């Protein structure tokens, strides 16, 4: 039996959250009301969500040897995540982000920087790092290394889930080994040049023969194409404090759903619920909750849907 349920390779970051009463106008000024240092990052936060759902988790990546890197390591260790293949890069600052959070809506704007000295190279990825897990979760950064990890997983019969929001050079080599793509709403349209999101997902799934091609829709939920049909899951309405990390937590819950072999509708609903709960607190990992919390929200919460998506998914 594999030692871990899920291994993740990709980004971590330390966020500086700046709370503002409202976003300033272009070239304007606005005072911020609070400043908070908070651990985040796409794959790292997804792995924390997985650990919170009771999965055995391994994280593969790099951190700087500065104070931000130390905070990241401590946060991941506290979540019970295996860090045997996390490299601490000497003389290198950790990835950081400055996030403006509009207190009237909870929406955020992100400014980020990742030094090149944090790059993971393909030769640093070995089969033993990947085959020790039942599932591999990746993002799009360090594309050659991610492509190698996905190839190793595919050759070993290990499913690969992916979080992607940006076009990367040479990304075809990753997509051809992805089983479950959950992209931002922009990526499928950008990748295919097809403006209809339903058609864009269909094109990606058919070209790369994925089990699932899906997209997150922010405050309107998620859409997926699986087994020849579309599944739409409206978002859950909560008192939104901060949307930072909602997508990352969605991916962590989706990894759990894949491992539990949940039906696609339930998988999307559960992922939406955990993502919504994370929005009720500050920080990328501030509102990560339990499976019981998510299921309770699924039973009681109001939903916010896109009517056109409901109709199209029903017809498709």
Residue 316 pLDDT: 64
Which residues, at least 6 apart from 280, have a Cβ–Cβ distance to it below 8 Å? 238, 239, 240, 241, 287
For 38-75, how does the pLDDT look when each residue is reduced to its tens digit (9 = 90+)?
Answer: 999 999 999 999 999 999 999 999 999 999 999 999 99
**Residue 314 predicted with pLDDT over 90:** no
Which residues, at least 6 apart from 149, have a Cβ–Cβ distance to it below 8 Å? 9, 60, 125, 129, 130, 136, 138
Q: Compute the distance between CA of residue 81 and CA of residue 57 in angstroms, rounded to an integer.
A: 5
What number does CATH give the domain 4-315? Answer: 3.40.1190.20
Would you state the structure tokens that stand for residue 65, as one six-digit string? Answer: 């040897």
Which residues, at least 6 apart from 27, have a Cβ–Cβ distance to it below 8 Å? none
For 28-37, how does the pLDDT look when each residue is reduced to its tens digit (9 = 90+)?
Answer: 999 999 999 9
Q: Compute the distance between CA of residue 41 and CA of residue 53 in angstroms, rounded to an integer.
A: 18
* For the chain, domain boundaries: 4-315
φ/ψ (deg, to 5) at 143? -55, -45
CA proximity to 261, closest of 199, 180, 165, 187:
180
Residue 309 pLDDT: 84
For 179-209, how does the pLDDT look when each residue is reduced to its tens digit (9 = 90+)?
Answer: 999 999 999 999 999 999 999 999 999 999 9
For 85-137, how does the pLDDT look when each residue is reduced to its tens digit (9 = 90+)?
Answer: 999 999 999 999 999 999 999 999 999 999 999 999 999 999 999 999 999 99
Q: Compute the distance between CA of residue 121 and CA of residue 146 in angstroms, rounded to an integer.
A: 9
């Amino acid at each position: 039996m594999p030692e871990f349920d899920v291994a993740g390779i990709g980004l971590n970051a330390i966020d500086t959250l700046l709370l503002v009463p409202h976003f300033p106008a272009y070239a304007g000024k606005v005072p911020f009301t609070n400043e908070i240092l908070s651990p985040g990052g796409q794959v790292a936060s997804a792995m924390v969500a997985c650990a919170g759902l009771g999965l055995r988790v391994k994280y593969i990546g790099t951190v700087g040897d500065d104070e931000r890197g130390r905070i990241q390591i401590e946060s991941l260790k506290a979540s019970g995540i295996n860090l045997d293949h996390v490299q601490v890069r000497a003389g290198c600052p950790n990835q950081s982000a400055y996030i403006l959070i509009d207190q009237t809506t909870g929406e955020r704007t992100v400014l980020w920087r990742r030094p090149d000295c944090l790059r993971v190279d393909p030769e640093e990825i070995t089969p033993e790092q990947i085959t020790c897990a039942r599932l591999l979760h990746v993002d799009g950064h360090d594309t050659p290394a991610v492509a190698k990890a996905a190839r190793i997983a595919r050759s070993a019969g290990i499913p690969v889930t992916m979080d992607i929001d940006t076009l990367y050079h040479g990304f075809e080599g990753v997509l051809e080994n992805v089983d479950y793509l959950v992209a931002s709403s922009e990526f499928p349209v950008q990748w295919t040049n097809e403006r209809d999101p339903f058609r864009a997902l269909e094109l990606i799934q058919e070209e790369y023969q994925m089990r699932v091609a899906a997209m997150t829709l922010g405050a309107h939920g998620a859409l997926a194409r699986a087994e020849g049909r579309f599944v739409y899951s409206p978002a859950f309405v909560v008192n939104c404090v901060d949307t930072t990390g909602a997508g990352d937590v969605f991916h962590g819950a989706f990894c759990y759903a894949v491992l539990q072999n949940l039906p696609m509708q339930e998988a999307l609903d559960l992922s939406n619920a955990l993502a919504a709960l994370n929005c009720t607190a500050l920080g990328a990992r501030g509102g990560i909750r339990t499976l019981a919390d998510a299921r309770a929200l699924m039973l009681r919460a109001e939903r916010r849907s896109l009517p056109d998506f409901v109709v199209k998914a029903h017809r498709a």
